[in-house]
Amino acid sequence: MRLPCRLLIPSLLLTTTLVACGSSGGAPGDVDDDFPLALVPGPASTPPMGWNSWNEFQGGINETLIEAIADAMVANGMKDAGYQYVNIDDTWSNKTGRDANGALQPDPGKFPAGIAAVADHVHVTDGLKLGIYGDRGTQTCGGYPGSQGYETQDANTFATWGVDYLKYDNCNASLNVETQYQTMQAALVQAAAAKPSPTPFVFSLCAWQFYQWGVTTGNLWRTTGDIKDTWDSIFANLMNDRSYAAYAGPNGWNDPDMLEVGVTDDEFSYSVNHTEYQSHFSLWAITASPLIMGNDPRTVTGDIKNILTNKEVIALDQDALGLQGTEVWESGDGNLSVWAKPLNAAGARGVVLLNAGAALADVTFTLPLIGLAGGSATVRDLVAQMDLGAFDDSYTVAAIPSHGTATLKVTGTEPPHPSGTADLSDLTWTYAANGLGPVEKDMSNGFSAAGDGAPISIASTPYAKGLGMAAPAAVIYRLNKACTSFTADVGVDDAASGQGSVVFQVWADGVKLADSGTLTGSNGMNPGKQTLTADLTGKRRLKLVVNNAGDGASWDRASWGNPQVICTAKK
Ligand code: GLA
């Protein structure tokens, strides 16, 4: 038996050392027509990248500063690394109110030349884009004029000024949140269309707990409260964000808040070390989070600049497949975890190993854990931008420092495509995201621990085979155009004791093939069980989705009873 590769990461050093490796020769990958997929068009095909003034400067902004930062983003290689948006946050407007025509106006002390002049500088001098901040209520979080009742006028003002991106906050608001965000969305669409050269706004929802409609309203939506420049805050935001992974995708991203990497002016600044900032960046990248820098690009130093401009880690974030990496393994004490996401190439996975504990630790993953077939694979350290060789079946990174990560790309072999009549719970999925702990095979979703469900039971019918999920959830299988049909019984599991409400959907290659409508756990009031079927002829990827249905995520234990695909022999 071959030894797994072992990688040493000496504490606080970026250098990595390969100390043992039991295999040679990489896996060729599974050659079929599943990859690569084309980039989905739109204003946020991949997670937005840029800079925002709030974390470092709060109210201390003005036009000279914003323009100097845009210039620095070009000079320091940030534009070249992919950062596009220069976003002015709260306090930019005239706090005393709107002008005589009701229009928002910039603070004359901070922006004497006006926002249009800043937009011009950012566009023409730097080739970057400008973002601005607003609020759905009567006032912003900082007490500046809000857009309630002025949505159309404000969207037109932003368009006239040449603004490309709006972060829209949720303070001082009493009206229906969904309606107000949708009103601004419609106003932005209309205002963008009226621009001389129409380009859609990126719409950033600075509101949380509204994920169902966020997906169709904004290009990114906050999943957490305000981030702080502390490790605990960074980690807490990551933990909160992971439950919503199923919602993320091209043009709609979960936003665990802006980066704290290199911030010096937060009340807690200087408590986060270099190892932790690297982890912050790597974890935002594996989770396909927006990369909005919060530091001062004018004074960025070597280490911080290296973290923020590392093109291989950025490529992990920006991968065109647009899947949010999920936590595929967690140690019993929650300190160690493995995060993975499929990349847009056959056999390729991004992997981040996290040691959130206080002591040095080894972290191991196996190939099936990250959705690959067992056997041989190669591994690359994305932070060091260095190939680490080949390994068989499992890989260990040794001595990961406290709060440290290993950021890897693994290239191996995709699992076999299904053939004949296949139970989905017997296959290795390409990707699984779940609202509460892992998707379970042949049991209902219990709570957050793996394997803590009960036998699947839908409307009193037991199922030996199946998948247990909690909304929102998404599971993807590769079919290689070799399958003809899908069938499953679906419903809220009896484990929910009459509670919960969900919607089951079957998608293939971006097209919805079946939709259960709302199914509830309340037996009797709603049949609670349905059979979903779909024609899979010629399809490459099957995606099973479970969404919340209006009443939040409470007890949304969604079970698929006997989900099967019927396929021809394996290609
Ligand atoms: C809220 C947001 C922050 C920032 C401030 C500005 O707290 O979450 O990101 O925009 O408002 O007042």
DSSP state of 437: S
What is the total residue count of the chain? 571
How many other C-beta atoms are found inside a 10 Å radius of the C-beta of residue 59? 15
User: In sequence order, what DSSP letters do the residues of 298-366 get, joined into one string?
Assistant: TS--HHHHHHHH-HHHHHHHH-TT-PPPEEEEE-TTSSEEEEEEE-SSTTEEEEEEEE-SSS-EEEEEE
Tell the CATH superfamily of the 49-317 domain.
Answer: Aldolase class I (3.20.20.70)
How many other C-beta atoms are found inside a 10 Å radius of the C-beta of residue 562? 18
C-alpha 549 chain-centroid distance = 21
Which of 55, 58, 88, 90 most suits a substitution to test ligand 1, by most atoms within 8 Å of the C-beta?
90
Which of 53, 89, 259, 265 most suits a substitution to test ligand 1, by most atoms within 8 Å of the C-beta?
89
| 80 Cα–ligand 1 center, Å | 28
Q: Catalytic: 169?
A: yes
| 226 Cα–ligand 1 center, Å | 7
CA distances from 528 to 207, 249, 263, 304, 500 (A): 32, 29, 51, 53, 10
* 565, 418 contact by CB (below 8 A): yes
CA-nearest residue for atom 3, ligand 1, is 226
C-alpha 91 chain-centroid distance = 28
CATH for the 326-411 domain, from 2.60.40.1180, 2.30.42.10, 3.40.47.40, 3.30.930.10: 2.60.40.1180
User: In sequence order, what DSSP letters do the residues of 348-395 get, joined into one string?
Assistant: EEEEEEEE-SSS-EEEEEETGGGT--SSEEEEEETTTTEEEEEEESEE
CA-nearest residue for atom 1, ligand 1, is 141
pLDDT tens by residue, the chain, 571 residues = 333 333 333 333 322 322 222 222 222 333 445 678 888 889 999 999 999 999 999 999 999 999 999 999 999 999 999 999 999 999 999 999 999 999 999 999 999 999 999 999 999 999 999 999 999 999 999 999 999 999 999 999 999 999 999 999 999 999 999 999 999 999 999 999 988 888 999 999 999 766 678 889 999 999 999 999 999 999 999 999 999 999 999 999 999 999 999 999 878 888 999 999 999 999 999 999 999 999 999 999 899 999 999 999 999 999 999 999 999 999 999 999 999 999 999 999 999 999 999 999 999 999 999 999 999 999 999 999 999 999 999 999 999 999 999 999 999 999 999 999 999 999 999 999 999 999 999 999 999 999 999 999 999 999 999 999 999 999 999 998 999 999 999 999 999 988 888 999 999 999 999 999 999 887 555 567 899 999 999 999 999 999 988 666 678 899 999 999 999 865 4
User: Is the previous residue joined to 36 through a cis bond, with omega within 30 degrees of 0?
Assistant: yes
Q: How many separate helices (H) and strands (E) can be counted in the chain?
A: 11, 31
* 248, 324 contact by CB (below 8 A): yes
What's the rounded Cα separation, in Å, for the pair 163 and 158?
5
Q: Which CATH architecture has domain 421-567?
A: Sandwich (2.60)
Which H or E run contains 135?
strand 129-135
| H runs (alpha helix) in 19-114 | 54-57, 63-75, 78-81
What's the rounded Cα separation, in Å, for the pair 3 and 350?
22
Q: What is the pTM of this model?
A: 0.93
Sequence ranges of the chain with CATH classification 3.20.20.70: 49-317
SS3 label, residue 67? helix
Sequence ranges of the chain with CATH classification 2.60.40.1180: 326-411
Of the residues 107, 135, 169, 317, which is catalytic?
169
Pocket of ligand 1 (CB under 6 A): 54, 89-90, 133, 140-142, 169, 206, 226
How many other C-beta atoms are found inside a 10 Å radius of the C-beta of residue 442? 16
CA distances from 191 to 74, 159, 160 (A): 29, 6, 8
Sequence ranges of the chain with CATH classification 2.60.120.1060: 421-567
User: In sequence order, what DSSP letters do the residues of 486-498 get, joined into one string?
Assistant: EEEEEEEBGGGTT
